[in-house]
Structure 1
Amino acid sequence: MIPLVINIVYFLLSLALLLAFIRLTRGPSLPDRVVALELIASIVVGFVGVHAIDTGISSLLDVAIVIALTAFLAAIGFARFLERGTQE
């Protein structure tokens, strides 16, 4: 039963990653693309977390935390860039 659930979660995360990538490439504006990029980072954290549960390797959770913190800092940088705009 558990391998079935893990496979379903992998499939749903893959579908979400595909949809987020489509939004990243076809986003109508730059803020939409930034949100899609942040979503992709969150989905990758989900993949790493599910893989850690699937394999039982708890050190992968540290990797997920590092990815999440890096994505957070990137989101802050993008937000500052969008707030400033092109006026300098």
Structure 2
Amino acid sequence: MTVVIVIAGVLFGAGAVGALWRIIRGPSALDRIIASDVLVATAMCAIGAEMAINRHTDNLPVLLGLALFGIVGSVSVARFISSRDDA
């Protein structure tokens, strides 16, 4: 079980580093926005895995807040890009 936890941690870390790299180096604003959504989703997965490993639900409000942040952010960006294309 410890090996699986370490592998999952390494993969979550690699996903977060990749998303941060795209946020810093992204050639366009849309790349940076998508990378921030990926970073939020990676954080949610890592928090969910930690809750499953330790068998508690203490961080459930944090997960719900991150989910709300991700949805509102994606919708806001979609509306911004849509209004910019119409002009």
Q: Same fold (TM over 0.5)?
A: yes
TM-score, length-normalised on structure 2?
0.86
- Taking only aligned residues, the RMSD between alpha carbons, in angstroms, comes to 1.9
2:9 is aligned to 10
**Structure 1: gaps (5+ residues):** none
Aligned residues: 87
- Counterparts in 2 of 1:2-81, with a 5 A limit? 2-81=1-80
1:59 deviates by 3.1
Moved more, 6-15 or 64-73: 64-73
Alpha-carbon displacement from aligned partner over 1:5-43 (angstroms, at most 9, x marks no partner):
011101100001001110111111111111101000100
Q: Which runs of 4+ in 1 moved over 4 A?
A: none
Identity %: 24
- For structure 2, which runs of at least 5 residues remain unmatched after alignment? none
CA distance in 2, matches of 1:53, 1:61: 11
